[in-house]
Amino acid sequence: MRKPNILLITSDQQHWNTIGAFNPELSTPNLDRLVREGTTFTRAYCPNPTCTPTRASIITGQYPSQHGAWTLGTKLLEDRHVVGTDFQEAGYRTALVGKAHFQPLMGNEAYPSLESYPLLQDLDYWRQFSDSFYGFDHVELARNHTNEAHVGQHYAIWMEEKGCTNWRDYFLAPTGTMDPKQLHRWELPEEYHYNTWIAERTNALLEQYKDQDESFFLWASFFDPHPPYLVSEPWDTMYDPEKLTIPEVTPGEHDNNPPHFGMTQQERPDFSAWKETGYGIHGYHSHLMPESERKQLVATYYGMVSMMDKYIGRILDRLEELGLAEDTIVVFTTDHGHFFGQHGLQAKGGFMYEDLIKLPFIVRYPGKVPANVQSDALVSLVDLAPTFLSFAGLPIPVWMTGVDQSAVWTGGKSSARDHIICEFRHEPTTIHQRTYVDQRYKLTVYYNQSYGELFDLQEDPGELHNRWDDPSCSGLKTELLLKYVWAELGKEPLAMPRIYHA
């Protein structure tokens, strides 16, 4: 029996409720198609609400506290075991096109980075690059979100090859010359957008694998809708800001929350007590924004989602045209969620609401995964690596601490886990928290702090009422704290099985 191909398609920082099939304010016909043809998991979560830790978890099957890439500005050390190696050893071709972000934008002698300045803009280096990268025998990379100055690597090479020799005009200084005051509309023509590049290059690899009759593990890694909020025409005007539902803070909802929540609603909050390494700390600033700006950024964010959907469709179409769809597991998800006004918050940070840690998550595998089904089974991105290996009939390394979800995806089991753990360690000690989620409750604990969060997701799905200090919930809090400790103990990897009594 032929082993299945695996096509992982990810967006970047996409709110769970931005698929047209479930939110009529958006148009996403291709993601809707996956919803019809596969199973949507409505309780999927990230292991960390930032890029590097979660992306490293996807390829290691471990939590950030285990694989070591614990926050932004760190890297996944090269000696860590990655799932691509398992697939390579089994004869699969492995590739990643788009965003990796396994390494930081700056490196040093002790911790060099291939995704750092100035190397990422040494195009001659990337033209010749043929090394394996974290278990992917072929990579085509970029590092910028929309017009960021980090543009370079294979994406810049592709733009030049397509005739866009003035590509620097569309990116910020010091790399480019774009006016930083230009918002929402990106003058970059759609034909040179990285969505076009990712779809084109992913499809070229699919064609190669088809021609050579090779099994593959292929990750198409899109950058949108991660801010900055910019999108090419005509997508920038696709949505009318005045006709969209714009989330807002509920008065008083942060009164019982840890202090950093309420401080985000101040004009000039002082977060110096949280600063430890001297590097930036996501989310620890004022989140206040004029209403007109809030409306426009939602319209642009939705436009970014819809444009990306078009190019996801091109990949799905080519997969079918090549006759590969029946033998390919397609997973669509994102690395973490996003705030665009919910709870008065923007983007991301140390706020473990469902908006930030819950994900869109769809699985399609014709004849194996039920079609047009929604499941409330708990799923984590840390489960992807072991589940992919299980579908391929390959052994799951003992140090992978994610859960094999294959029987859940195929409908044979209702669930494979009874809880989720989400970690956020953004500074060594001052921003260090863990969140435990089960079918009904969510508990968040903070290192060296007596405050915390306890939400009843059944009775309070909007997470407006923190019950951490509610005397009537003291017994529940004790019970959940014990379950959280058990969950932490349970995710410890075992290097080998016990083989004798002594």
Encode pLDDT of 234-249 as tens digits. Answer: 999 999 999 999 999 9
pLDDT of residue 175: 97
H or E element in which residue 142 lies: strand 138-142
pLDDT of residue 151: 98
Helices (H), 162-274: 194-211, 259-263
In tens, the pLDDT along 263-272 reads 999 999 999 9
- 8 Å CB contact between 215 and 91: yes
**Phi-psi label, residue 13: left if phi above 0, alpha if psi -120 to 50, beta otherwise:** left
H or E element in which residue 378 lies: strand 373-380
How confident is the model over 187-200, as a mean pLDDT? 98
pLDDT of residue 201: 98
Residue 1 has pLDDT above 80, yes or no: no
| Rounded CA separation 293/4 (Å) | 46
**Phi-psi label, residue 113: left if phi above 0, alpha if psi -120 to 50, beta otherwise:** beta
What global pTM score does this model have?
0.98
How confident is the model over 12-28, as a mean pLDDT? 98
Confidence of residue 496 (pLDDT cuts 50, 70, 90): confident
Q: In the structure encoding, which two tokens stand for residue 409, read together?
A: 């995806």
Residue 2 has pLDDT above 80, yes or no: no
Q: If you average pLDDT over every residue of the chain, what do you get? A: 97
| Rounded CA separation 198/183 (Å) | 24
